[in-house]
Amino acid sequence: MDIPPIRYARSGDVSIAFQVMGAGPTDLVVIRGSLSNLASIWDQPLFVRYIESLTAFARVILFDKRGMGLSDRPRDVPTLEARMDDVRAVMDAAGSEAAAMWAAHEGARIACLFAATYPERTRALILFDPSARGRRSEEYPWGRTEEEWRRWLREVGEGWGSETFEERYLTEYCPSVADDAAFRAWHARHMLASASPGAAVAFQRMVMEGDVTDVLPAIRVPTLVLHRAESKGQSEYVASRIRGAMLRVVPGLVDGYTWADPVASTFIYGEMSSFLARLSTGSQPERVLVTILFTDIVGSTERAAELGDDAWRRLLGQHNALIRRRLAEHRGEEINTTGDGFVAAFDGPGRAIRAACAIRDDVRDLGLEIRAGIHTGEGERMDGQIAGIAVHLAARVSAEAGPGEVLVSSTVRDLVAGSGIEFDDRGERALKGVPGEWRLFAVRAEHG
């Protein structure tokens, strides 16, 4: 097949390289793994066969993740929120209103976050060996320990591009072709073209920090999880937490690259095409993953009594105008006002935190102090409003905040990992009317 031209989508101040090929009835966004270069990948015949098979039933959209291949390589560690924005930017530039997502390994985290946040733009999820988080925990024993991560990051930084590292990587990750001299030579070139040692370490840090375990129950789109036999545990974990997800083992597959094994890849294409063919066009989903921000003025009753009704109304009007300006800047949607506070919804937790910190600093110029609470969870849109447990939790988190404090749930903290925003652990709290204990974190003022 002819190699499609490289195009660029603008995501904030970063350019994301992408290609579009095929004319199938369903748009399919392919979120690939840690090695990605839209130029060198076409030198691999097995990959070309893979793309040709996908275009038989879909219009395929490929892209290089930020920090990889032909996309810009910003110095900061990419966050899940920023990488989700990249997917949306690529879809917009490709003219795709809604698409199915085909993602493997850690790329499944981006796909899951996107599907939960933008269900109206996600026709389906197809995940292969999905990874939900990087660090090992009692509930998620498939991640690396802290010591294993330190050792791995050191090995990536010191060995990236070397023959020894390349041999180990292929032996562990793609054993069926590890002894193929032509494949090894191509893979070595592709590795170096995909990332520099520093970019590879930054990517792996993002893999280590990322965590979408709290996001999975909010996904409401058709989902197919495919996996190798050896990845059964973590794949079952993901599938069991996504409502209605189907789980399929790929017989005989041992490689992390699905396209490197022609027999296994043929099975995968059949599963994908039949799954996508069964999708109905249905109505737009009403349940979404949303980040809710609650703010209120500290000591508002006493301040109103001190100023009098007229002066208080003028001050409150200035307060409201400042908040609405900051919401507009950070893509926040005003949901409600509470007399001396606001309820707002955001499509990303990082934007909610930055808006809250800006609001906190702005209103101090008016002689006011606010408290703010932020939580990311599932909400339901009804008549332009958002309701659900996420709203209640954000209100309860806000109630725990002190004057001038921006307090967030652990879900929010996990989703902005790598953003540079730092937190102080406020410990576990019992939130009124909400079962269980919730760990809360305060945004450090200098990082807001």
Q: Can you say whether residue 98 is alpha, beta or left, with left for phi > 0 and alpha for psi between -120 and 50 degrees? A: beta
Burial class (CB in 10 A: 0-12, 13-18, 19+), 146: exposed
Token representation of residue 9: 């989508």
CA distance 240 to 448: 36
Q: For position 161, what pLDDT does the model report? A: 86
Q: Which residues contact 298 (CB under 8 A, 6 or more apart)?
A: 368, 369, 370, 371, 403, 404
Beta bridge partners of 441: 408, 425
CA distance 414 to 403: 24
For the ranges 17-21, 296-300, 432-436, which has the lowest average pLDDT?
Answer: 432-436
What's the pLDDT tens digit per position in 127-186?
Answer: 999 999 999 999 999 999 999 999 999 999 999 988 889 889 999 989 999 999 999 999
Give yes or no for a contact between 237 and 132, defined as CB atoms under 8 angstroms apart: yes
Q: For position 99, what pLDDT does the model report? A: 96
Token representation of residue 224: 């197919």
Q: For position 78, what pLDDT does the model report? A: 78
Report CA 425 to chain centroid distance, whole Å.
23
Global pTM? 0.81
Q: Residue range 365-386: average pLDDT?
A: 84
What's the pLDDT tens digit per position in 256-280?
Answer: 888 888 888 889 988 998 899 888 6
**pLDDT at position 187 over 70:** yes
Token representation of residue 322: 């400042």
What's the pLDDT tens digit per position in 213-223?
Answer: 999 999 999 99
Domains of the chain: 7-277 (3.40.50.1820), 287-447 (3.30.70.1230)
Place 195 in a pLDDT band, splitting at 50, 70 and 90.
Answer: very high
